Amino acid sequence: MHKKVGFHFQNSLGVVKKMINQKRYTKVGTDIDEVKRLNSQSGLSYNEVKKLLAERYLANKKE
Protein backbone atom coordinates (compact mmCIF):
# COMPACT_ATOMS: atom_id res chain seq x y z
CA MET A 1 0.00 0.00 0.00
CA HIS A 2 2.87 2.41 0.65
CA LYS A 3 4.05 2.02 -2.93
CA LYS A 4 0.64 3.10 -4.20
CA VAL A 5 0.64 6.18 -2.01
CA GLY A 6 4.21 7.02 -3.06
CA PHE A 7 3.31 6.61 -6.73
CA HIS A 8 0.22 8.75 -6.30
CA PHE A 9 2.25 11.43 -4.54
CA GLN A 10 4.93 11.45 -7.26
CA ASN A 11 2.27 11.51 -9.95
CA SER A 12 0.60 14.48 -8.24
CA LEU A 13 3.90 16.36 -8.16
CA GLY A 14 4.27 15.80 -11.89
CA VAL A 15 0.81 17.25 -12.48
CA VAL A 16 1.62 20.27 -10.30
CA LYS A 17 4.87 20.89 -12.20
CA LYS A 18 3.00 20.74 -15.52
CA MET A 19 0.38 23.18 -14.21
CA ILE A 20 3.07 25.64 -13.11
CA ASN A 21 4.78 25.57 -16.50
CA GLN A 22 1.55 25.55 -18.51
CA LYS A 23 0.12 28.83 -19.78
CA ARG A 24 -3.58 29.56 -19.47
CA TYR A 25 -5.58 30.64 -22.52
CA THR A 26 -9.16 31.70 -23.12
CA LYS A 27 -11.33 29.75 -25.56
CA VAL A 28 -10.30 32.10 -28.39
CA GLY A 29 -6.58 31.78 -27.59
CA THR A 30 -5.80 34.85 -25.48
CA ASP A 31 -2.90 34.36 -23.06
CA ILE A 32 -4.47 35.22 -19.68
CA ASP A 33 -1.20 35.80 -17.83
CA GLU A 34 0.09 38.12 -20.58
CA VAL A 35 -3.10 40.21 -20.39
CA LYS A 36 -2.76 40.47 -16.60
CA ARG A 37 0.90 41.48 -16.95
CA LEU A 38 0.09 44.17 -19.52
CA ASN A 39 -2.84 45.47 -17.45
CA SER A 40 -0.61 45.85 -14.40
CA GLN A 41 1.74 48.02 -16.48
CA SER A 42 -1.01 50.26 -17.82
CA GLY A 43 -2.33 53.34 -16.04
CA LEU A 44 -5.27 53.65 -13.72
CA SER A 45 -8.27 51.38 -14.05
CA TYR A 46 -11.71 52.79 -14.83
CA ASN A 47 -12.79 52.45 -11.19
CA GLU A 48 -9.58 54.07 -9.94
CA VAL A 49 -10.17 57.07 -12.20
CA LYS A 50 -13.76 57.40 -10.97
CA LYS A 51 -12.58 57.31 -7.37
CA LEU A 52 -9.86 59.89 -8.01
CA LEU A 53 -12.29 62.24 -9.78
CA ALA A 54 -14.84 61.88 -6.98
CA GLU A 55 -12.20 62.65 -4.34
CA ARG A 56 -11.02 65.72 -6.24
CA TYR A 57 -14.58 66.88 -6.79
CA LEU A 58 -15.40 66.60 -3.09
CA ALA A 59 -12.16 68.34 -2.11
CA ASN A 60 -12.91 71.25 -4.49
CA LYS A 61 -16.51 71.45 -3.32
CA LYS A 62 -15.39 71.97 0.30
CA GLU A 63 -13.19 74.93 -0.65
Per residue of the chain (63 residues), what is the pLDDT tens digit? 445 555 555 556 665 555 566 889 999 999 999 999 998 899 988 999 999 999 999 999 987
Structural domain harbouring 22: 2-62
pTM of the predicted structure, to 2 decimals: 0.42
Q: Are 3 and 10 in contact (CB under 8 A)?
A: no
pLDDT score of 27: 92
pLDDT score of 22: 80
Total structural domains within the chain: 1
pLDDT score of 7: 53
